[in-house]
Amino acid sequence: MQLYGSQSSPYVRRLRLLLAEYPHEFISMNIFESADRERLIKLNPTRKVPMLSDGAQVVFDSGVIFRYLSQKFSWAPLSWDEENTLTLINAVNDSLVEILLCQRSGFDTNDNKLFFNLQRERTHAVLTVLEQKAQQGEFQRWNYLAMSLYALLDWAAFRNLTDLTPFNALNAFVATAKNHPGIALSDPRLS
Ligand SMILES: N[C@@H](CCC(=O)N[C@@H](CS)C(=O)NCC(=O)O)C(=O)O
pLDDT, one tens digit for every residue, the chain (191 residues)? 999 999 999 999 999 999 999 999 999 999 989 999 999 999 899 999 999 999 999 999 999 999 999 999 999 999 999 999 999 999 999 999 999 999 999 999 999 999 999 999 999 999 999 999 999 999 999 999 999 999 999 999 999 999 999 999 999 999 999 999 999 999 999 99
- Asked if residue 128 and residue 68 are part of one domain, the reply reads no
Asked whether residue 38 falls in the same domain as residue 96, the answer is: no
State which amino acid sits at residue 156: A
Last residue of a domain, one of 23, 56, 75: 75
pLDDT of residue 96: 98
Degrees to nearest 5, angle at CA 138 with 131 and 15: 95
User: Is 107 in the same domain as 162?
Assistant: yes
Q: What is the pLDDT of residue 28?
A: 96
Closest ligand 1 atom number to CA of residue 63: 19
Pair (103, 171) in one structural domain: yes
Domain match, 140 and 162 both? yes
Ordered DSSP codes for 36-76? HHHHHHHH-TT--S-EEEETTEEEESHHHHHHHHHHHHTPP
The residue among 58, 75, 92 that closes a domain is 75
Residue 189 lies in a domain: no
Judge if 132 and 103 occupy the same domain.
Answer: yes
Task: Give the model's pLDDT for residue 17.
Answer: 98
pLDDT of the residue at 170: 98
pTM of the model: 0.97
Which of 11, 68, 83, when mutated, tests ligand 1's pocket best, judged by the most ligand atoms within 8 Å of its CB?
A: 11
Q: How many domains does the chain divide into?
A: 2
CB atoms within 10 A of CB 62: 28
CATH of the domain at 43: 3.40.30.10
CA–CA dist 183, 186 (Å, integer): 5
Mutate to test the pocket of ligand 1, among 14, 36, 49 (most ligand atoms within 8 A of CB): 49
Q: Which domain holds residue 140?
A: 80-177
